[in-house]
Amino acid sequence: MTTNNPNIDLQPGEDAAVFAGGCFWCTEAVFLALKGVKKVISGYIGGKTINPTYKDICTGETGHAEAILIIFDPEQITFGELLEVFFATHDPTTINRQGNDVGTQYRSEIFYLNEEQKIEAQDYIALLTQENTFGKKVVTKMSPATTFYEAEDYHQNYFDRNPTQGYCSFVIPPKIEKLKQKFPEKLKS
């Protein structure tokens, strides 16, 4: 894959996608379950502060979104399939909000890494809009990817390491269940 983003290092046979869909603990858990996904990194993108911390972005003043960088094998799962899962496992009709998480850091946004991703995402959003899939307007933003800042170590693989943490045990299992019901063929065994 050709990426316009110099801070995303890919190995031969790898591709990448960057999505923001609310709390990165949730989106990370969803995408880690998919066949062909090699790695998911939680982080921050789309803001003005250099090297932001979790504390910084929680103020909502840095402009960053909580996002995930997905490293995947395009021979096993395509960018289009990742888009399908992304839109099916978060609410793309709310501005700066996912459930009880409110603020610009929880916005729905696709940070495209090249022109092909931009066009594919635009076409998919147009299809969802045409089919009125959600019964409301899709408000997911699209932006060229800027610097992706990896979140602190304790945020990485958070759900797997903290399944009984209150937020995790309440919010993430319904998303995983939805994933299992809607995309059983895409799940790792």
Concatenating the DSSP letter of every residue in 72-136 gives E-TTTS-HHHHHHHHHHSS-TTSTTEETTEESGGG-EEEEESSHHHHHHHHHHHHHHHHTTTTSS
Catalytic residues: 23
> What is the band of 26 on the pLDDT scale with cuts at 50, 70, 90?
confident
Distance of alpha carbon 189 from alpha carbon 170, whole angstroms = 24
Distance of alpha carbon 62 from alpha carbon 101, whole angstroms = 17
| Of 9, 159, 158, 154, nearest in space to 69 by CA | 9
Q: Please, is 164 exposed, middle or buried when counting C-beta atoms within 10 Å of its C-beta (0-12, 13-18, 19+)?
A: exposed
What pLDDT shows up at residue 1?
Answer: 45
CB atoms within 10 A of CB 120: 18
Out of 25-34, 113-122, 157-166, the most confident range is 113-122
Checking DSSP bridges between strand 108-112 and strand 141-144, what pairing results, if any? parallel
pLDDT at 6 over 60: no
Q: What are phi and psi of 144, to 5 degrees?
A: -65, 140
Distance of alpha carbon 81 from alpha carbon 5, whole angstroms = 22
Q: Which tokens in the block code for residue 153?
A: 């170590």
User: What tens digit of pLDDT does each residue of 137-160 get?
Assistant: 999 999 999 999 999 998 999 778
What pLDDT shows up at residue 7?
Answer: 67
Distance of alpha carbon 37 from alpha carbon 78, whole angstroms = 10
What pLDDT shows up at residue 2?
Answer: 45
CB atoms within 10 A of CB 139: 17
Q: Which amino acid is at 11?
A: Q
Whole-prediction pTM: 0.93
User: What tens digit of pLDDT does each residue of 47-56 get?
Assistant: 999 999 999 9
Q: Is 149 helix (H, G, I), strand (E, B) or coil?
A: strand
Q: Is 161 helix (H, G, I), strand (E, B) or coil?
A: helix
pLDDT at 79 over 80: yes
- The stretch 30-35 carries a mean pLDDT of 95
